[in-house]
Amino acid sequence: MGKLADKVALITGAGSGIGRATALLFANEGARVVVADFVPQGGHETVKMIREAGGQALFVEVNVTKSSDVQRMIRSAVDEYGKLDVLFNNAGMQGKYIMTADLPEEVWDNIIATNLRGVFLGCKYAIPIMLTQGGGVIINTASSAGIMGLPGSQAYCASKAGVILLTKAAALEYADKNIRINCICPGGIVTPLAGIGKPMTDVTSVPLFHQSQAMRRFGQPEEVARAALYLASDDSSFVTGTALMVDGGWTAGLPKMPAKKYAEILDSIKK
């Protein structure tokens, strides 16, 4: 039997990248998976991949910034499968690299709404279900950029730092209710969101902090998915309120790229 046998897992942003890799892994471990995404095509493709491998899945289109969408998403999971054991609030956005004084207010609002409000709404509407059924697991996607600053990504950094502290506060609130709440802090991962797909030497195509990975390589979505599986399963039964780094050592304190170099690369990206 798999580590998530007889579990129901809902994953946002599951149409690509980390979300898709996690949906496939969870299904392989026995979970019935609700694939939620803002882009229907990617979500349906993930569902197809799960079903072709013999798993169970359904797709729900969702805008995680909208309360009504998130409530409908949660209801869909419970209506279809009868419960909700695991919620992975993974949907997010990064945005372009823009200096603080140049950042439009609406861009700030959109990033904060997607990355932080979306996680809050997921927690808000999943927790009552989990309380009623006697427990559950919530995993939130934060970022190593929520620990270390990243020039030109102040909204992203702020949103992900908020996810970390939201995770810790909520974990304390429900630790004695058999609800474990943790977050994962990925570093440079090869995903459409991160914009990574070219060689590491092409400085115009990769985000700034990805170039100073201590392990000198990017991570793969499957490596983050395995961390999510750990947090979702009973292997982490005594773990709550933690921010699990999956960042190739980026936040370990090793020497980073000089600020001047960051600025030079930022300029090249903006051109």
57-70: average pLDDT? 98
Tens digits of per-residue pLDDT, 198-247?
A: 444 444 445 555 556 677 677 899 999 999 999 999 999 999 999 999 99
**Global pTM?**
0.90
Residue 266 · residue 152 · CB < 8 Å: yes
Count of other CB atoms within 10 angstroms of residue 4: 24
Angle at 40 between CA 191 and CA 225, to 5 degrees: 35
What tokens does 185 get? 């802090």
As given in the structure block, the two tokens for residue 201 are: 């030497």
Domain ranges of the chain: 8-193+218-253
Query: Is the predicted pLDDT of residue 81 greater than 90, yes or no?
Result: yes
pLDDT digits (tens, 9 = 90+) for 134-173: 999 999 999 999 998 888 899 999 999 999 999 999 999 9
Is there a catalytic annotation at residue 262?
Answer: no
Distances (CA, A) of 205 to 67, 101, 151, 194: 35, 23, 16, 10
Check pLDDT > 80 for residue 193: no
Mapped onto helix, strand or coil, the DSSP state of residue 155 is helix
Tell the CATH superfamily of the 8-193+218-253 domain. Answer: NAD(P)-binding Rossmann-like Domain (3.40.50.720)
Give the C-alpha separation, 184 to 19, whole Å. 12
3-class DSSP assignment, residue 266: helix
Q: How confident is the model at residue 97 (pLDDT cuts 50, 70, 90)?
A: confident
Alpha helices in 175-258 (DSSP H): 221-232
> Does residue 255 carry a pLDDT above 60?
no
Position 43 pLDDT exceeds 50? yes
Q: Name the nearest CA neighbour of 221 among 192, 199, 243.
A: 192
Among candidate residues 81, 97, 125, 156, the one labeled active-site is 156
